[in-house]
Amino acid sequence: MEWLENVLADGQHAIKLRGDLEYFAAHTLKLRPKAGPLEHFKFNFAQLKLHQIAEEQRQKTGRVRLIVLKARQMGVSTYVAAHLFQRTISSPGLRTFILGHTRQASSNLFQIVKRFYDHAPEDLKPSVGASNAEELIFDKLDSGYLVSVAHIEGTGRSATAQLLHASEAAFWDNLPLQLASLMQTVPDLPGTEVIIESTANGYNDFHTLWRKVEAGENDS
Q: Please state the domain extents for the chain.
A: 44-214
148 bridge partner residues: 99
Do residues 99 and 155 lie in contact, with contact meaning Cβ atoms separated by under 8 Å?
yes
Q: Return mean pLDDT, the chain.
A: 87
pTM given for the model: 0.89
Looking only at Cα atoms, what is the longest distance across the chain?
Answer: 64
DSSP string, 39-59: EE----HHHHHHHHHHHHHHH
Residue 196: closest CA among 24, 177, 183: 183
Q: Which residues, at least 6 apart from 150, have a Cβ–Cβ distance to it below 8 Å? A: 99, 100, 101, 166, 169, 172, 173, 178
Indicate whether 73 pLDDT > 80. Answer: yes
Helix axes 21-28, 2-19, angle to 10 degrees: 110
Do residues 47 and 73 lie in contact, with contact meaning Cβ atoms separated by under 8 Å?
no
Query: DSSP class of residue 123?
Result: G
pLDDT digits (tens, 9 = 90+) for 18-62: 889 999 999 999 999 888 899 999 999 999 999 999 999 999 999
pLDDT digits (tens, 9 = 90+) for 128-149: 999 999 999 999 999 999 999 8
Domain 44-214: CATH superfamily is P-loop containing nucleotide triphosphate hydrolases (3.40.50.300)
Question: What's the rounded mean pLDDT across residues 86-105?
Answer: 94
